[in-house]
């Protein structure tokens, strides 16, 4: 991809700097809302197969923040970006690094979904799952994780780590530091207000 060089893919991960954490706060806020929009699109497709419940929270107010996507963005920035950089340095080509990253991310997403399910989604005395029930789906893992979801989440992780994150880092660096500081503070404040309104 001409607008992203190998150097672009290897830059941006500087957890010892204020800029890194400032940008991470911006990404957390933005993708908590954008993630909900993406889930609306995904669930609209999946509902064609009768997989998504009509009363699912995803259909509610599209400005309702789904913090799980903000957390996912933070995890991707803190763990998957350095993983990508390590794979780039070890593999001969960017394509080889990207393919290995994708496979590793599928496993990671599956383990995370499974762990969340085992912690938060245990069936009640009637055998009903409170949050989601994958038991009737093919390729489910212990009725909690679903390989199809994990593949789609891995695609999102690929897009974020290999394209969105380096592009944002590349172009945010071009903004004056003082201006970006003010914009990031405004965004965080607006996000806190949004969460207060939506969660109350």
Contacts of 144 (CB under 8 A, 6+ apart): 113, 114, 116, 117, 118, 121, 134
- Tell whether 6 is covered by a domain: no
- Tell whether 3 is covered by a domain: no
- Tell whether 2 is covered by a domain: no
What does R_g of the chain's alpha carbons equal in angstroms? Answer: 18
Average pLDDT of span 146-161: 93
- Tell whether 5 is covered by a domain: no
Q: Classify 50 in phi/psi space as left (phi over 0), alpha (psi -120 to 50) or beta.
A: left
Number of domains in the chain: 1
- Tell whether 7 is covered by a domain: no
* pTM of the shown model: 0.85
CA-based torsion, 106, 112, 114, 116: positive or negative: negative
| DSSP element (H, E) containing 107 | helix 94-120
Q: Indicate whether 41 pLDDT > 60.
A: yes
Domain that holds residue 141: 12-199
- Tell whether 114 is covered by a domain: yes
- Tell whether 167 is covered by a domain: yes
Please tell me the predicted confidence (pLDDT) of residue 2.
54
């Amino acid at each position: 991809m001409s607008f992203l060089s190998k150097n672009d893919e290897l830059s941006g991960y500087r957890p010892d700097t204020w800029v890194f954490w400032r940008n991470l706060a911006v990404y957390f806020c933005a993708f908590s809302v954008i993630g909900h929009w993406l889930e609306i699109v995904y669930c609209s497709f999946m509902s064609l197969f009768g997989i998504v419940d009509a009363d699912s929270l995803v259909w509610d107010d599209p400005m309702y923040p789904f913090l799980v996507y903000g957390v996912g963005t933070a995890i991707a920035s803190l763990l998957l970006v350095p993983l990508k950089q390590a794979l780039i340095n070890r593999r001969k080509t960017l394509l080889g690094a990207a393919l290995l990253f994708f496979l590793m991310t599928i496993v990671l997403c599956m383990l995370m979904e499974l762990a969340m399910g085992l912690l938060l989604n245990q069936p009640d005395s009637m055998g009903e799952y409170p949050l989601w029930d994958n038991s009737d789906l093919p390729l489910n893992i212990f009725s909690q994780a679903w390989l199809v979801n994990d593949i789609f989440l891995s695609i999102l992780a690929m897009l974020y780590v290999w394209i969105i994150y380096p592009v944002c880092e590349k172009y945010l660096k071009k903004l004056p530091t003082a201006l970006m500081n003010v914009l990031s503070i405004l965004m965080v404040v607006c996000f806190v207000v949004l969460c207060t309104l939506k969660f109350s």
